[in-house]
Structure 1
Amino acid sequence: MRVQTRHTPGFGVARVLLDPGEAVRAAPETLLASRFGVTEAPAGRGGVRAGKSAMAVYTAPSDGGWIDFAPLRPGDVYPLDVGGGTGWSVHRDAVLVRPSSVRHDTGWAPLQQLFGADSGFLEHYSGTGPLVLAAPGPVDAFELGQGELVTVRPDYLLAYPDTIQCRLRALDPGGPQSLRTGEGLAVDFAGPGTVLVHARNRRLSGS
């Protein structure tokens, strides 16, 4: 699978180029167009998650094909290269297209430790391939050296790799907080690694 992007960062579209018989998973309402012959099938059990649309699996014909995917709201599209034995924690509302070679790791222990029994604003992915993300604004990155620190608000957080250490804390212990949306919280990161953010507030932009 290869990814080409256009109309970024304001109204991004991702063109996914598939080898013969290769498949990807995405929400049906994000499919803009495809080469004739690409097939669509329900994702099966687990295709519907809380607050999310049913997912579908798109498979290329015997001679390959392409599919254009567009986020439901304006913003950037970003192919995140997952691989090298390093997984990524990604904002739960950010995944636009997932190849079959990238796994969604439900119940990943470090996120369970971060959020406890609650469903938090992050999900974990591992495997190999480009995981296409949608962001409400241009994607930016903080490149952290060994022991370098940065604090990010969850409304702007897109993704970070397993090499990064992180801590979740309340901005005001007496104020309103939500593990699902990140309201009232901050995330402290320590390098080495890259923290991906987007330059628009996710909640205020309606994403």
Structure 2
Amino acid sequence: MRVQTRHTPGFGVARVLLDPGEAVHAAPETLLASRFGVTETAAGRGGARAGKSTAAVYTAPSDGGWIDFAPLRPGDVYPLELRGGTGWSVHREAVLVRPSAVRHDTGWAPLQQLFGADAGFLDHYSGTGALVLAAPGPVDAFELAQGELVTVRPDYLLAYPDTIQCRLRALDPGGPQSVRTGEGLAVDFAGPGTVLVHARNRRLSGT
């Protein structure tokens, strides 16, 4: 699978180029167009959430094919390359397209420790391939050296790898807080690694 992007960062579209028989998961509402012969079937749980609906599986015909996916709202698209050795924690509303070789790791222990018994604003992915992310604004990155620290608000957080250490804390212990939306919270990161963010507030952008 290869990914080509266009109209970024304001109105991004991702073209996914598939080998013969290769498949990807995505929300049906995000499919813009495809080569004739691409098939669609219902997916089980753990698929893409970009459309906030049940995902579908799109499979290329015997000679390969392409599919164009567009987020439901304006913003950037970003192919995050997973190389098999390191997983990534990703904002739960950010995944536009997931290749079959990338796993959605439900119940991943470090996120359970971070959020407790509640469902938090992050999901974990591992495997090999380009996980295509949708962001409400241009994607930016903090490249952290060993021991370097940065604090990020959840409304701007896109993704970070397993090499990063993180801590979730309340901005005001007496104020309103939500691990599902990130309201009232901040995330402290310690390097080494890359923290991906986007330059627009997710909640205020309606995504």
Q: TM-score with structure 1 length normalisation?
A: 0.97
Residue 128 of structure 1 aligns to a residue whose secondary structure is: strand
Q: CA deviation at 1:83?
A: 1.4
Q: CA deviation at 1:62?
A: 0.1
The answer to whether the 8 Å contact 2:50/2:94 transfers is no
The answer to whether the 8 Å contact 2:49/2:96 transfers is no
Q: CA deviation at 1:25?
A: 0.2
Q: CA offsets, 1:102-141, max 9 Å, x none?
A: 0000000000000000000000000000000000000000
Residue 98 of structure 2 aligns to a residue whose secondary structure is: strand
Residue 141 of structure 2 aligns to a residue whose secondary structure is: strand
The answer to whether the 8 Å contact 2:105/2:123 transfers is yes
Residue 111 of structure 2 aligns to a residue whose secondary structure is: helix
Q: CA offsets, 1:6-33, max 9 Å, x none?
A: 0000000000000000000000000000
| Change beyond 3 A, Cα 1:187–1:125 | same
| Change beyond 3 A, Cα 1:20–1:52 | same
CA RMSD, Structure 1 to Structure 2 (Å): 1.6
1:149 aligns with 2:149: yes
| Change beyond 3 A, Cα 1:104–1:138 | same
Consecutive unaligned residues in structure 1, runs of 5 or more? none
The answer to whether the 8 Å contact 2:48/2:98 transfers is no
Identity of aligned residues (%): 92
Consecutive unaligned residues in structure 2, runs of 5 or more? none
Q: CA deviation at 1:52?
A: 2.6
Q: CA deviation at 1:84?
A: 4.1
Q: CA deviation at 1:50?
A: 12
The answer to whether the 8 Å contact 2:42/2:55 transfers is yes
4+ runs deviating over 2 angstroms? 44-52
Distance (whole Å) between structure 1 residues aligned to residue 48 and residue 129 of structure 2: 23
Report what 1:66 is aligned to: 66
